[in-house]
Amino acid sequence: MTVPQPDLHHDPLKSAMTAIERDVEIAVQDLSRMVAVDTSFPPGEGYAPFADLMSELLEPLGFDFERVTVPRDLWYVAGGPASGERINLVAARESGKPVCGLYYHVDTVPVAPGWTRDPLSMTIEGDNLYGLGAADMKGTIAATLLALRAAKECGVSLAYDPMLLLCTDEEGGLYPGIRYLAEQGMLKGHILNFNGSAAPRVWAGCFGIFNLQVTITGHAVHAGEGNRTGAGVNAIEGALPVLNALAALKPEVAKKSSKLAPPPHATGPLRPSLTIAAVNGGTAGGQVPAEIKILVSRRYAPEESYEAARAEIETAIHTCLAGTDLKLAVDLVGHLIPTDDPDGPHWPRWQKALSEGFGYDKQDFAKWGAASCSDFGYVQKAGFGPEVLLGGLGRPESCIHSPEEHTTRQDIIALAKSILAYLAADFSADSIPETRQS
């Protein structure tokens, strides 16, 4: 009888890296199924079916699941555009190792005008994968599944127990799912946040953002009576001074600057901004419009005060409507606070893992922040961190939040290799902080 001899040349991690390249089409199929589930926010009605899909895809990998629903009274704004249960899926696989949380927001922005492809049916053109959320950030989930399947198939020993955090309402709203998990004490270990870019970047933090729903109310009458004294109050016409005042405030806000390090090759400092994001009002040509809603979005630097920035906007609005017959309501319908410097002991290892996957050199990395926003300011405020690792699939050409959003097979492969390397016990073992501490 011949006794099988062990393959002394077998390298599980190397084999898994090869498997990632070989099996990328499985990740493409997974991403196609994810894109087909409409998780746009607002309104946020697709979270339950998306949790069902993720449970199906993760169950063969040995994960246990917990669905955590954010209570309605925390996120719902009366009269706002949000609806549907806020279901967050926590998928854990605990074996006693240190935990590494892998974070994804599963919501997307709504479909914007201008798509030439079906945004909810993934289109494959060469290496490009088009679909709403393909880069931001369902493609990062597909990359993670690709990495975990390769690790299981090839017997890669992991340094960390992965905990997937598939969360709601990052794209807007008052109470992102990761905030609720943090405040409920459900987070463990340290977290890799995949809401970032495919770039050699060390995250320095980011701006905050708040959204105000401005509702101006007049009095509706037949349009033929609108020119009779006291007959009606046209809300849209009455709002014109408000819109002009907001437009005048916009360049004043943009004169401010932040000390937060800008991205490489930026032409100047990071600056706050004010945007009139949506305007809705009126019903028909035969009626004097009784109501107009204006959505105002304000990005603010870490050095700014949210209270002062909001007061500046509200003062401008109130001044325009003083002495009129119009009624005014201003409601906070979304708020992400700034994220402080998320540096920490795991960053050097994550840089090595990114270099393994994407081919970066050590000298390629730079530390910079962004005027884009994150829900991880709430995570830090809840006492978890401040360290947060950052990676993702975003590139300038990815059209994130725009028509024709896409990612590529090669970036999914690169991110999957980075994730596998970071989790693997045999990758740069001397850079695992928990090993050094023990």
Same domain, 292 and 373: no
Task: Write down the pTM of the prediction.
Answer: 0.92
Please tell me the predicted confidence (pLDDT) of residue 438. 52
Flag whether 393 is in a domain: yes
Please tell me the predicted confidence (pLDDT) of residue 284. 86
Task: Report how many domains make up the chain.
Answer: 2
Tell me whether strands 406-408 and 366-373 are parallel, antiparallel or unpaired: unpaired
Order of strands, sheet of 128-130, starting from the edge strand that comes earlier in the sequence: 123-125, 128-130, 406-408
How many angstroms separate the CA atoms of 263 and 395, rounded? 13
How many angstroms separate the CA atoms of 13 and 11, rounded? 6
Same domain, 119 and 241: no
Give percent of the chain with pLDDT exceeding 90. Answer: 88
Same domain, 33 and 170: yes
Same domain, 360 and 281: no
Same domain, 37 and 171: yes
Flag whether 6 is in a domain: no
SS3 sequence of 137-151: HHHHHHHHHHHHHHH
State the CATH number of the domain containing residue 306: 3.30.70.360
State the CATH number of the domain containing residue 28: 3.40.630.10
Helices 24-35 and 12-22 sit at what angle, rounded to 10 degrees?
60
Summarised one tens digit per residue, pLDDT across range 347-399 is 999 999 999 999 999 999 999 999 999 999 999 999 998 999 999 999 999 99
Please tell me the predicted confidence (pLDDT) of residue 276. 98
Same domain, 129 and 219: no
Flag whether 1 is in a domain: no
Domain that holds residue 314: 208-259+267-336
Flag whether 5 is in a domain: no
Q: Which token pair is 310?
A: 């909001």
Summarised one tens digit per residue, pLDDT across range 145-201 is 999 999 999 999 999 999 999 999 999 878 999 999 999 999 999 999 999 999 999
Summarised one tens digit per residue, pLDDT across range 313-325 is 999 999 999 999 9
Are 205 and 301 in contact by the 8 Å Cβ rule? The answer is: no
Residue 178 phi, psi (nearest 5): -65, -30
Please tell me the predicted confidence (pLDDT) of residue 265. 87
Is pLDDT at 3 greater than 60 in this prediction? no
Q: How far is CA 162 from the centre of its chain?
A: 20
Confidence of residue 79 (pLDDT cuts 50, 70, 90): low
Place of tokens 């079906």: 118
Flag whether 107 is in a domain: yes
What 3-state DSSP class applies to 379? Answer: helix
Q: Among 286, 301, 336, give the residue marking a domain's end.
A: 336
Among the residue ranges 29-43, 71-85, 264-278, the one predicted with the least confidence is 71-85
Please tell me the predicted confidence (pLDDT) of residue 1. 46
